[in-house]
Amino acid sequence: MKYDILGVMVDNATMDEAVRDISRYFGSKEAHMVVTPNAEILLMCENDRELLQAISKASFVSADGVGVLKAAKILKTPLKEKVAGCDLGFNLLKEAAKGGHGVFLFGAKPGVAEAAAEKLCEKIPGLIISGTRDGYFKPGDDDEIVRQINESGADILWVCLGAPKQEKWMAENKDKLQVSVMLGLGGSLDVYAGNVKRAPKIMIKCKAEWLYRLIKEPWRFSRMIKIPRVVKLAKAELKRRQNNA
Ligand code: UDP
């Protein structure tokens, strides 16, 4: 079941349901896109048609953040839970390892994907890393990148270029890629390489991961003030829907 949250169709699923549904695509001939929007991405879609169009091509859209959950609640279509991209990506790697599906890690600064690959292999027995590549490239490099990914034989692809670059890149190259699932996962490679720490479990449980990230990376403040704007837009959208009903 998908809900329209400010123009973005978001899947109403728990983490377990998301992992189950997405892993069903493993091994398929078509490349399925998974995107994990937060409040900031919802707002970007307001003024970026190309991003909205890219997201509309996704097979699965998970709600990555309290801002999206808040907007959904205001619109009277509450979502079951937050499905953070970082955790979703990890859980899908566990499924990929069980099924013998290879993974390609694309994105972040040089050396980060390799470091993440090493750490992920320590955490997930049997994980097959088919290839890695950093996320800094020229516009004309796409065909060469697609060739490298296809030649690696990977079935699952992490695309960690940050939003909206990763969503647009996936939509643009979807039909040329011979993977079955590709996920846009922002800064996840930095997290698994150990460059950026996740918040302590208790803070995640108390929905205060944003506070931890803000303390560690104060430049995120300008991004976080986006949540009140999303709340305001959701209230206006609810009023519009009620008037049209
Ligand atoms: N990045 C990249 N290529 C670019 C721009 C960014 O690979 O041209 C990477 C960057 O190094 C970082 C990630 O994209 O690893 C974006 O991380 P951020 O924390 O900003 O994303 P978020 O998780 O907040 O969406």
* 160 Cβ below 6 A of ligand 1: yes
* 44 Cβ below 6 A of ligand 1: no
Which residue's alpha carbon is at the smallest distance from atom 22 of ligand 1?
Answer: 186
* 109 Cβ below 6 A of ligand 1: yes
* 136 Cβ below 6 A of ligand 1: yes
Query: What is the average pLDDT across 178-185?
Result: 98
CB within 8 Å of 97: residues ≥ 6 apart: 124, 125, 126, 127, 128
Rounded to 5 degrees, φ, ψ at 4 are -85, 105
Atom of ligand 1 nearest to the CA of 41: 25
Query: What is the average pLDDT across 216-235?
Result: 82
pLDDT of residue 153: 98
pLDDT of residue 216: 79
Structure tokens at 136: 């800094």
Spacing, Cα 203 to ligand 1 middle (Å): 23
pLDDT of residue 136: 98
pLDDT of residue 195: 84
pLDDT of residue 231: 93
Structure tokens at 88: 């979703």
Atom of ligand 1 nearest to the CA of 220: 24
Strand segments (E) across 16-163? 32-35, 60-61, 102-107, 128-133, 156-160
Which residue's alpha carbon is at the smallest distance from atom 4 of ligand 1?
Answer: 161
Q: Is residue 219 scored above 80 in pLDDT?
A: no
Atom of ligand 1 nearest to the CA of 196: 19
Any idea which residue has 């600064």 for tokens? 109
Bridge pairing between strands 60-61 and 32-35: parallel
Average pLDDT, the chain: 94
Weakest mean pLDDT among 133-142, 177-186, 196-205? 196-205
Reported residue count of the chain is 245
Contact 110, 134 (CB under 8 A): yes
Where helices occur in 100-208 by DSSP H, the ranges are 112-123, 142-152, 165-173, 188-193, 201-205
pLDDT of residue 185: 98
**Which amino acid makes up residue 16?**
D
Q: Is residue 198 scored above 80 in pLDDT?
A: no
Q: By C-alpha distance, which of 18, 28, 27, 183 is closest to 100?
A: 27
**DSSP helix/strand/coil, 160:** strand
Other C-beta atoms lying within 10 Å of the C-beta of residue 224: 17
The string of pLDDT tens digits covering residues 55-80 is: 999 999 999 988 999 999 999 999 99
Percentage of residues of the chain with pLDDT beyond 70: 99
Atom of ligand 1 nearest to the CA of 112: 15
pLDDT bucket at 116, cuts 50 / 70 / 90: very high
Spacing, Cα 232 to ligand 1 middle (Å): 27
pLDDT of residue 204: 80
Q: Which of 160, 168, 224 most suits a substitution to test ligand 1, by most atoms within 8 Å of the C-beta?
A: 160
- Bridge partner residues of 160 (DSSP): 107
pLDDT of residue 65: 87
Rounded to 5 degrees, φ, ψ at 162 are 80, 160
**Which amino acid makes up residue 176?**
K
Which residue's alpha carbon is at the smallest distance from atom 1 of ligand 1?
Answer: 161
Distance, in Å, from the CA atom of 121 to the CA atom of 115, rounded to the nearest integer, reads 10
pLDDT bucket at 38, cuts 50 / 70 / 90: very high
Q: Which of 190, 198, 213 most suits a substitution to test ligand 1, by most atoms within 8 Å of the C-beta?
A: 190
Return the H-helix or E-strand segment holding 11. Answer: strand 8-11
Distance, in Å, from the CA atom of 140 to the CA atom of 94, rounded to the nearest integer, reads 34
Please state the pTM of the whole predicted model. 0.93
Q: Highest mean pLDDT range out of 47-51, 192-196, 211-215?
A: 47-51
**Exposure on the CB side of residue 192, measured as CA atoms within 13 A:** 32
* 43 Cβ below 6 A of ligand 1: no
Contact 171, 194 (CB under 8 A): no
